[in-house]
Amino acid sequence: MKSIRLAFAAAACVSAGAVAAPPTVGGCQVFPADNHWNTPVDNLPVHWRSTAWVTSIGNTAKLHADWGNNLADFYGIPFITATNATPPVPILPYSGSDPEDDYSDESDPGPYPIPAAAQVEGTPGATDGDRHVIAINTDDCMLYELYVATKLGGGTSWKATSFAKFNLASNALRTAGWTSADAAGLPIFAGLVRWEEIAAGEINHAIRLTANNVLGRENGQNKYLWPARHWSTSNTNLAFPPMGARFRLKAGFNISTFSAPTQVILRALKKYGFILADRGSNWYFQGVSSASYPNSLFSELGSISGSNFEAVDTALLQVNVNSGQALQGVNGNPARIANISTRGQVLTGGDVMIAGFIVTGTAPKTVVITVAGPSLAAAGITNPLANPVMTLVRASDGVAIASNDNWQSQTVPTHVADIQTAGFAPAHPNEPAIMATLAPGAYTAVVTGAGGTTGVGLVGVYEVDRPDVPVINISTRGPVLTGNDVMIAGFIIYGDSTKDVVVTVAGPSLSGAGIPNPLNNPMLTIVRASDGVVIATNDNWQTQTVPGHVAMIQNAGFAPAHPNEPAAYLTLAPGAYTAVVQGVSNTTGVGLVGVYRVN
pLDDT of residue 515: 87
Going by C-alpha positions, the residue among 526, 511, 495 that lies closest to residue 591 is 511
Cα separation, 326 vs 44, in Å, equals 12
Cα separation, 336 vs 546, in Å, equals 24
Cα separation, 438 vs 138, in Å, equals 46
pLDDT of residue 19: 57
Backbone phi, then psi, for 432, in 5-degree steps? Answer: -85, 160
Cα 127 from chain centroid (whole Å): 39
For 304, how many CA atoms within 13 A lie in the half-sphere containing its CB?
25
Cα separation, 289 vs 194, in Å, equals 8
Residue pair 462/368 in contact by the 8 Å Cβ criterion: yes
CB neighbourhood size of 346 (10 A): 27
pLDDT of residue 99: 66
- One digit per residue, the tens of pLDDT, for the chain of length 599 reads 444 444 454 445 443 444 578 899 999 999 999 999 999 999 999 999 999 999 999 999 999 999 999 999 999 999 999 999 999 999 999 877 666 678 999 999 999 999 999 999 999 988 889 999 999 999 999 999 999 999 999 999 999 999 999 999 999 999 999 999 999 999 999 999 999 999 999 999 999 999 999 999 998 999 999 999 999 999 999 999 999 999 999 999 999 999 999 999 999 999 999 999 999 999 999 999 999 999 999 999 999 999 999 999 999 999 999 999 999 999 999 888 888 888 888 999 988 999 999 998 889 999 999 999 999 999 888 899 999 999 999 999 999 999 999 999 999 989 999 999 999 999 999 999 999 999 999 999 999 999 999 999 999 999 999 999 888 778 888 889 998 889 998 999 999 899 999 999 999 999 988 888 899 999 999 999 999 999 999 999 999 999 999 999 999 999 999 999 999 999 999 999 999 999 999 999 999 999 998 97
- DSSP strands (E only) in 441-530: 441-449, 455-463, 471-480, 487-494, 499-506, 522-528
Q: Positive or negative CA dihedral for 371, 373, 378, 383?
A: positive
pLDDT of residue 8: 54
Cα separation, 491 vs 493, in Å, equals 7
pLDDT of residue 1: 40
Q: Mention every residue, 6+ apart, whose C-beta is less than 8 A from residue 140.
A: 84
Residue pair 209/188 in contact by the 8 Å Cβ criterion: no
The helix (run of H) or strand (run of E) holding residue 297 is helix 295-301
Residue pair 236/221 in contact by the 8 Å Cβ criterion: no
Cα separation, 507 vs 523, in Å, equals 10
Residue pair 371/458 in contact by the 8 Å Cβ criterion: yes
Cα 290 from chain centroid (whole Å): 35
Q: Which domains does the chain have, with CATH numbers?
A: 2-75+175-317 (no CATH), 336-597 (2.60.120.380)
Residue pair 50/205 in contact by the 8 Å Cβ criterion: no
- DSSP strands (E only) in 258-303: 274-279, 284-286
Whole-model pTM above 0.85?
A: yes
Cα separation, 550 vs 445, in Å, equals 31
